[in-house]
Structure 1
Amino acid sequence: MPKVLIIDDDPTFCLMLKSFLNKNSFETKEVHNARESIKIVKQEPFDIILTDFRLPDKNGLDLLKDIKGIIPKTPVILMTSYANIRTAVNAIKMGAYEYVTKPINADEVLAAINNALDSAEDKKIQSDGGEISKKDVKGFQFIKGNSERFKKIHQHIELVAPTNMSILIHGESGTGKEYVSRLIHEKSKRKDRPFVAIDCGALSDELAASELFGHIKGSFTGAVTDKKGQFEVANGGTLFLDEIGNLSYEIQVKLLRATQEKKIRKVGGNTDIEVNVRLIAATNEDLQKAVNRGDFREDLYHRINEFQIKVPPLRERKGDISIFANHFLEVSNKELERNIQTIEHDVIDKFNNYSWPGNIRELKNVVKRSVLLEQSDLLTSENLPDEIKFPSTDHDLGTDDTETDGKALREVTEKKEKEMILRTLEQVKYNKSKAARILNIDRKTLYNKLKQYDIEA
């Protein structure tokens, strides 16, 4: 029975979520602040962790970093509101498996948990040196876009895939860098050999060497058996290192040797192991600037950058949005056992007018959530998040992904929220139940907002 840790300061919410998960054959434990959660993850093993972003003693990003430092392989799902979408994007960059939005939908949470557990099991198979999960490599779906930017990417993939050149893929979080790397592998001469993906952002400095190169029993506390590193697991195939810029300088030195000499040495070992691995690296930062700052080795940068592919953000690929949306509709129908036939034109228009800070990953989540909530056979705008449903320039203030708590931003947010509530009430002829449903809040919250903003309805 998988064991789930729930971290949320709302006891009523925890009780509801625990009851649902217990009915679905999960063992659960709840804590109400970050301090308790850190204490308990050091004492007990968990298969997955669900944490709220807003906790009384720490925010979710700081807690995520602490948890990953203690149990780096345990999937963490962040629970947040759509108002904190940029925070959710940051969480993915920092190693969160996924995020789900509040108000929580039980089926959405269950699907995210099951997907995370499946992913964790696949990674365990890889780390144990076993066969890579076929569903994780073979038959993955890469959706071709129609935009000129995408056509250029596809041309580059066709050219470079048959070679043994090392490739650096650059793009924002959620743009599909791993899918590009998988397509390169599938079109290469190594397609019948392993494809292994590593998220360098989720590796602590202490564990990175062991994860990449392996270790010998007794080489450090906790090394109770010999372990194959991912270079060995991927031998003959392709190793994909996502967010390579997060690796420490010491690990960069070892990685340079592995790519230059095609040899690795396990932690605690005294013999070299020959490996034949094609390296594909990805980053969402400018590594050339990191080289100039002295944070990334210049010789390693040139070694991994024999060929570079830049994946543009979704907001610069408007011609591809409807293609991705319809694909995710099909996938969501299958996963959620629904039968939504098509997407309303108004929805596609709203998608095209949105900036998509979370890129393709965010679009997938929005479509999946809408499919889950839709009551007809047409995907309408009724169940879209507010920032997509009610376009505004307010949510695009600045380009910083971090959350700002300044007074000016709070005033803008409150103004936007008041306007949104007023528009919704007018739209539904002041039917408060329907307004609350459209706004994805309960009636009590709506009444509190009406009082807060002195709205007569």
Structure 2
Amino acid sequence: MREKVLIVDDDRALRWSLGEILRATGYDALEAASVREALALFDAEQPHAVLLDIELPDGSGLDALSEIKRRQPDAIVIIITGNVDVPNVVAALRGGAYDFISKPINSEELRVTLRNGLEARQLRREVTRARRESAQQFSFDQIIGQSVVMRETIALARKVARSEASSILLQGESGTGKDLLAKAIHHDSARAEGPFVAINCAALPSNLIEAELFGYEKGAFTDAKQRKEGLIEQASGGTLFLDEIGELDLTLQTKLLRVLEEGRVRRLGSLNEIELDLRVIAASNRDLKADTENGRFRLDLYYRLAVICIDLPPLRERGDDLLLLAAHYIETFNRTMRRKPPVRALAPATREAFRRYSWPGNVRELRNVIERAMILEDGEMITMNYLPRELRADDLRATDDAPVRLPPEGLSLAEVEASLVRQALERCGGNRTRAARLLGLTRDQLRYRLKKMSAARVGGARA
């Protein structure tokens, strides 16, 4: 489809001349002689660009510009004027005009300006679409989890995302989804239009991390052949995500703290400081507070980062989220692998093995297990046949006819029951519903056992 250009000028001969140039270049030309005609045609035809004279018989072209930009903010409007009145030109550019061309109009200048404007408009639309798709892909709605602990985590992250918090610390075991949560926080924040810059502090040697983070000037060191912006500088206006920040050495921790405190960064080899406007999200699979006590992490940096601290629960504490995630990955890999026949579900034995397994690698491990099984399986169910050895070994232990061995001296059945109840409650953070599920009990059955345990303690104390 040919692109449409609206010519707005009260000079009929000029409109005809510009129309001929546009049609010869491959555009469809529309003509209007006044502000009223221009706005009516703009609404009816939705042109790709507008050539707009400032002086029109029923009003100013600046008013028409304002109205066009109100109706379509990304409209390309090129001002054409015979009187290069600087204040008017400046007002037009500030009002959203793409450029201006002086009369008499040079046809080549018109073609180049129009082409550049339309290409800029298309590029902006592609960037906007990409950002929208990225925001949808990494939104909180894409994080799978219905467990109480996960709903609470997401609710806290949503609140923090929309706040003015400058620093956020995510803590959790490897594979719990800290990077996914960081992206969701960025895309749900006022900084969503800005960059999201991520660096894994454990993936690079310390000498490279410094150059990557802070950037450098040409000649700052032997291999510095040209100036390079650091990742901190690139993240200004958006979010800097420092994954595995606990791996930074103490010297870099000191430099990073100074940047966060002062809001400025200095490239290696430079005397000038660059103002920053960024949010820092740090993540670690270690207990950074404990690391401050043994000297591995600076206490002042910890408190600077942990303005808001969000703990991500391990998969083993998320109950039936495990099966929701498994179903999600089955659907994803059916699509990306173009599986025929598609896998429909986990086999019953596999589902039970998944429930029993502790998933030390968390969601990342689950994803890898599902992907491997779907590559190797021929049928419509994920069976035990292609599960990793540790899951199948866990299943063999579970089918042993004596999962609990009675020692020669014997033991108290009541003590065993009480111990299992306490372990289940500890694992579930005191949540009785989830603890009951782990023990194969109803909530009422668990409550009965807790009362019995309490009565036994009271009776023992009286004796």
**Could you say whether these structures have the same fold, taking a TM-score greater than 0.5 normalized by the shorter chain as the test?**
yes
Name the count of aligned residue pairs: 265
State the distance in 1 between where 2:225 and 2:273 align. 21
Change (3 A) 1:134 1:362: farther
- Using the TM superposition, give the Cα deviation of residue 394 of structure 1 relative to its aligned residue in structure 2, in angstroms: 8.0
1:274-313 deviation line (CA, Å, top 9, x unaligned): 1111001011111112111222111111110001100111
Change (3 A) 1:309 1:136: farther
Instruction: Tell me whether 1:140 sits opposite 2:161 in the alignment.
Output: no
Paired residue for 1:443? none
Paired residue for 2:158? 158
State the distance in 2 between where 1:226 and 1:234 align. 17
Letter in 1 for 2:137: F
State the distance in 1 between where 2:250 and 2:132 align. 34
State the distance in 2 between where 1:305 and 1:325 align. 32
Paired residue for 1:335? 336
State the distance in 2 between where 1:137 and 1:218 align. 38
Paired residue for 1:276? 277
1:153-195 deviation line (CA, Å, top 9, x unaligned): 0110121111121111110111111111111111111111111
Paired residue for 1:407? none
User: SS of the counterpart of 1:391?
Assistant: helix
**What are the equivalent positions in structure 2 for 1:66-81 lying under 5 Å apart?**
none
**What are the equivalent positions in structure 2 for 1:143-292 lying under 5 Å apart?**
143-165=143-165, 166-292=167-293
Change (3 A) 1:135 1:155: closer
Change (3 A) 1:136 1:390: farther
- Using the TM superposition, give the Cα deviation of residue 136 of structure 1 relative to its aligned residue in structure 2, in angstroms: 10
- Using the TM superposition, give the Cα deviation of residue 137 of structure 1 relative to its aligned residue in structure 2, in angstroms: 4.7
Paired residue for 1:386? 389
- Kept after mapping to 1: 8 A contact 2:211/2:268: yes
State the distance in 1 between where 2:184 and 2:212 align. 24
Name which of structure 1's ranges 342-351 and 246-255 shifts more when overlaid on structure 2.
342-351
- Kept after mapping to 1: 8 A contact 2:245/2:282: yes
State the distance in 2 between where 1:195 and 1:393 align. 46
Picking from 348, 353, 360, the partner of 1:350 is 353
User: SS of the counterpart of 2:169?
Assistant: strand
State the distance in 1 between where 2:281 and 2:396 align. 37
State the distance in 1 between where 2:251 and 2:132 align. 34
User: SS of the counterpart of 2:394?
Assistant: coil
Instruction: Tell me whether 1:364 sits opposite 2:367 in the alignment.
Output: yes
Change (3 A) 1:274 1:365: same
Letter in 2 for 1:369: R
Paired residue for 2:21? none
- Kept after mapping to 2: 8 A contact 1:234/1:277: yes
Change (3 A) 1:394 1:344: closer
Change (3 A) 1:393 1:185: farther
State the distance in 1 between where 2:202 and 2:132 align. 24
1:239-274 deviation line (CA, Å, top 9, x unaligned): 110111111111111111211111000111110011
1:89-108 deviation line (CA, Å, top 9, x unaligned): xxxxxxxxxxxxxxxxxxxx
State the distance in 2 between where 1:345 and 1:392 align. 12
- Kept after mapping to 1: 8 A contact 2:353/2:395: no
- Using the TM superposition, give the Cα deviation of residue 134 of structure 1 relative to its aligned residue in structure 2, in angstroms: 6.1
Letter in 2 for 1:301: Y
Change (3 A) 1:240 1:393: farther
- TM-score of the two chains, using structure 2 as the length reference: 0.54
- Kept after mapping to 1: 8 A contact 2:197/2:240: yes
User: SS of the counterpart of 2:170?
Assistant: strand
**Please, which runs of 5 or more residues in structure 1 have no aligned partner?**
1-129, 396-457
1:28-69 deviation line (CA, Å, top 9, x unaligned): xxxxxxxxxxxxxxxxxxxxxxxxxxxxxxxxxxxxxxxxxx
User: SS of the counterpart of 1:201?
Assistant: coil
Paired residue for 1:377? 380
**Please, which runs of 5 or more residues in structure 2 have no aligned partner?**
1-126, 399-463
Letter in 2 for 1:240: F
- Using the TM superposition, give the Cα deviation of residue 203 of structure 1 relative to its aligned residue in structure 2, in angstroms: 2.3
**What are the equivalent positions in structure 2 for 1:3-22 lying under 5 Å apart?**
none
- Kept after mapping to 1: 8 A contact 2:170/2:282: yes
Identity %: 41
State the distance in 2 between where 1:342 and 1:394 align. 24
State the distance in 1 between where 2:345 and 2:197 align. 35
Change (3 A) 1:342 1:252: same
Letter in 2 for 1:148: V
State the distance in 1 between where 2:343 and 2:235 align. 40
- Using the TM superposition, give the Cα deviation of residue 135 of structure 1 relative to its aligned residue in structure 2, in angstroms: 10
Change (3 A) 1:156 1:356: same
Q: Which structure has the larger Rg over C-alpha atoms? A: 2
Letter in 1 for 2:188: K
- Kept after mapping to 2: 8 A contact 1:170/1:282: yes
The root-mean-square deviation of aligned C-alpha atoms, in Å, is: 2.3
Letter in 2 for 1:162: R
- Kept after mapping to 2: 8 A contact 1:242/1:282: yes
- Kept after mapping to 2: 8 A contact 1:185/1:238: yes
1:342-399 deviation line (CA, Å, top 9, x unaligned): 222332221111111111111000000111111012222221112212316989xxxx
1:99-150 deviation line (CA, Å, top 9, x unaligned): xxxxxxxxxxxxxxxxxxxxxxxxxxxxxxx99x869954435333111110
User: SS of the counterpart of 1:390?
Assistant: helix
Letter in 1 for 2:380: D
Paired residue for 1:311? 312
Relative contact order (alpha carbons < 8 A, sep ≥ 6): 1 or 2 greater? 1
Letter in 1 for 2:225: V
